[in-house]
Chains A and B, each alone.
Chain A
Amino acid sequence: MARFLLKRLFSATLTLFAVSVLTFLMFFALPRDPVSSICSKNCNPERLERVRDDLGLNDPLISQYAGYMKGIVTGRDLGSAQGGRCDAPCLGWSYVTNEAVSDTIARVLPVTLSIVIPAAILWLLLGVGLGMVSALRRGTWLDRLAIGFSLTGASLQLYFVGAVLLLVFVYNLRLLPVPSYTSLFDNPAKWASGLVLAWVALAFLFSAIYARLSRAQMLETLSEDFVRTARAKGLAKPTVYGRHALRAAITPVVTIAGLDVGGALGGTVITETTFGIQGLGRTAVDAVRSGDLPTIMATVLIAAVFVVLANVLVDLLYAAIDPRVRLR
């Protein structure tokens, strides 16, 4: 098991290295000069050149990359134009927002985590639960209702569902405040009431996929020989379904969930925009719009870290669920 974990972590590190190199290269391949955005109109060529020197943009690419990576690990000195000392994890300085990128991230990352993690718990419970119920009550009105629900969820768009939720619960019924982010640690009730619509909207759309997937998986598993064996042993239905069928049916759901959650943690742009909450996703989009390269790079890297981490986690969960995986 330890070897299995080491192997997965090693390949995850390799992936992250590749992503960081590619993002860094993209930084330079883009047809945008980071310097021209600093000294806007009253720039002469000499001054531009001096700023470039200050920023280290004239150094060889490799030493620039090394500097950037070193900054993430140990922090580094960026010079007075960029706020001076930049502590680890240093992601550079943004001339657009005039702050260290790591400060921006520290502000918006908890927002995205607060949206995605509760929403993911909600959509997994709802989706898998619906899928199981409709598989076990196959052909009944409950099954048809669940299928109808998931079909609706799969065909709607978040900005539509979000707008309807806002209209009903915030503006008409006035049951909820206008969505906003409050730190969980400052005021949990306000944290929840400000984000609950985002959770519900995300969970509604995502659970649709999970309901269909887990229904199909459960139906397939129920026809497996080992389920028949479990019944032949005289086990009661809850044990047959819960202990024997569910565990086998859930495996592919875990894979998809890992990818979805990992991807969503990289930013939920549409959700954040619909509910007017500034998270990682909107920050990334804003950065792209304003050509804020250090921020773009940081958001891309963070998204990659989440996807890679989610994959490692899925592998570990897989091994925990299916003993045959541990051998490989």
Chain B
Amino acid sequence: MDSSEPSPSGDPDDRPAVPAQRSDQDAYLRVRDLRVRFDTEDGVVRAVDGVSFAVERGRTLGIVGESGSGKSVTSLAILGLHDPKRTTITGGISVGGRQVVGLPDEEVRRLRGRDMAMIFQDPLSALHPYYTVGRQIAEAYRVHHPKANRREARQRAVDMLDRVGIPQPARRFDQYPHEFSGGMRQRAMIAMSLVNDPALLIADEPTTALDVTVQAQILDLLADLQAEFHSAIILITHDLGVVGQVADDVLVMYGGRAVERGSVEQVLRAPQHPYTWGLLSSVPSLHGDADADLVPIPGNPPSLINLPPGCAFHPRCRYADRAGSRSRTEVPELRPAGEGDSAGHLVACHLSAEERATFYAEDIARVGVAR
């Protein structure tokens, strides 16, 4: 994980270093103080407002948050897919040592699909309805292997279809997306994204559009493929259950900012931010009390044009008053959550570590779900 965390307003480099789990410099993807703004007719949308993280090859980072938290915008910024005319991106995104922000579009294009690839949420709409699945995969291969002829590209695509567990891959190559089932389509999408052995794979809600039974298969497949290709994976989801299954590290986003970050064990065992508590108690647990109620987080995600002042979560936070007026005036910085076991665990909350421990215990008692 990242070793230092910039404050939204301060100088990112002058902050005292947080004890690092491993050196940032080795990470394949390094995102530093990323800000993404859209100019719209209604005003400036601050979709991502100062987010930093890093992912090494072979590791999986889960980015969690509600819709509008900035998680998908972050991933599109990494791939350079935002419309430059309407989007302002500042901060640093380094992919394999190359700075992507500010790079000419043509150079980012050459990285896309080869060094970094993306799996989208709904494979039915993400695959072109008019072209065969195989042709779309072969196209992704040939664009980065101009010397490959049709037969080689076809062979490569068939191999990939086989690798992601699609039966009769040679026959499936010539079928259209609508002739595939939902799970098979997502497998094909994964085959397409991996056809060039990308070192970085971003999966944006890859299982949301799928049946529950298929979800687990796809997650298993991703884990298998990561072991084989040794890629860095970003898994974007709103489902902490999915994160627990496959991620190594977790970044929780709210209103375009990081509110909590740490290893999966840290964040799921000892969540520090009241928003994370809310996310946890709104997810059904396979291991907990089956009769326990699911408790939704009250209120709605904030408007990114007009973010609440201070801590963006304070209007929905049960404990906002305990932090006094600061919660409404001061944006909390991402700080170490504690010492010892929690090294590298960061949280952006005005409550003290002791208060958080007490309130989380209360929260569990109230919700009745032991995790």
Residues of A within 8 A of B (CB): 224-226, 228-236, 239, 244, 247-248, 321-324, 327
Report Cα–Cα, A230/B125, bound state, in Å. 12
Nearest CB of A to B71, in Å? 16
Interface size on B, residues (CB 8 A): 25
Report Cα–Cα, A233/B119, bound state, in Å. 10
Q: A225-B120, A225-B122, A229-B120 are in contact. Are A234 and B129 (CB under 8 A)?
A: no
Q: Out of A226, A231, A248, name the residue touching B112 (CB < 8 Å).
A: A231
- B63 in the interface (beta carbon within 8 A): no
The answer to whether A233 touches B143, judged by C-beta atoms less than 8 angstroms apart, is: yes
6 pairs of A and B residues whose beta carbons are closest in the complex: A234-B113, A234-B112, A225-B125, A233-B113, A233-B140, A226-B128
Contacts of B328 in A (CB 8 A): none
Q: A228-B120, A231-B81, A233-B140 are in contact. Are A322 and B109 (CB under 8 A)?
A: no
Report Cα–Cα, A235/B144, bound state, in Å. 9
Contacts of A244 in B (CB 8 A): 128
The answer to whether A232 touches B129, judged by C-beta atoms less than 8 angstroms apart, is: no
- B319 in the interface (beta carbon within 8 A): no
Report Cα–Cα, A232/B128, bound state, in Å. 13
Contacts of A235 in B (CB 8 A): 109, 113, 139, 143
The answer to whether A232 touches B125, judged by C-beta atoms less than 8 angstroms apart, is: no
B residues 91-147 touching A (CB-CB < 8 Å): 109-114, 117-118, 120, 122, 125-130, 139-140, 143-144
- B37 in the interface (beta carbon within 8 A): no
Q: Out of A228, A233, A239, A322, name the residue touching B129 (CB < 8 Å).
A: A322
Nearest CB of B to A317, in Å? 13
Nearest CB of B to A80, in Å? 60
The answer to whether A324 touches B112, judged by C-beta atoms less than 8 angstroms apart, is: no
Nearest CB of B to A154, in Å? 27
The answer to whether A230 touches B128, judged by C-beta atoms less than 8 angstroms apart, is: yes
Interface string of B138-168 (1 = CB under 8 A from A): 0110011000000000000000000000000
The answer to whether A229 touches B128, judged by C-beta atoms less than 8 angstroms apart, is: yes
The answer to whether A248 touches B114, judged by C-beta atoms less than 8 angstroms apart, is: no
- B176 in the interface (beta carbon within 8 A): yes
Nearest CB of B to A81, in Å? 59
Contacts of A228 in B (CB 8 A): 81, 120, 126
Q: A224-B125, A226-B125, A324-B176 are in contact. Are A232 and B118 (CB under 8 A)?
A: yes
Q: A232-B112, A234-B144 are in contact. Are A226 and B176 (CB under 8 A)?
A: no
Nearest CB of B to A92, in Å? 47
Determine which residue in A226, A228, A235, A327 has the highest number of CB atoms from chain B within 10 A of its CB, and name it.
Answer: A226
- B346 in the interface (beta carbon within 8 A): no
Q: Out of A232, A321, A324, name the residue touching B113 (CB < 8 Å).
A: A232
Contacts of A322 in B (CB 8 A): 129-130
| Minimal Cβ-Cβ distance residue in A for B109 | A234
Contacts of A236 in B (CB 8 A): 109, 143
Nearest CB of B to A201, in Å? 35
Q: Out of A230, A232, A239, A324, name the residue touching B79 (CB < 8 Å).
A: A232
Contacts of A248 in B (CB 8 A): 128-130
| Minimal Cβ-Cβ distance residue in A for B105 | A237
A-B contact pairs, 12 of them (CB 8 A): A225-B122, A226-B125, A226-B126, A228-B81, A229-B128, A231-B109, A231-B112, A232-B112, A232-B120, A244-B128, A321-B130, A324-B178
Q: Out of B122, B130, B139, B176, name the residue touching A233 (CB < 8 Å).
A: B139
Contacts of A323 in B (CB 8 A): 129-130, 176, 178
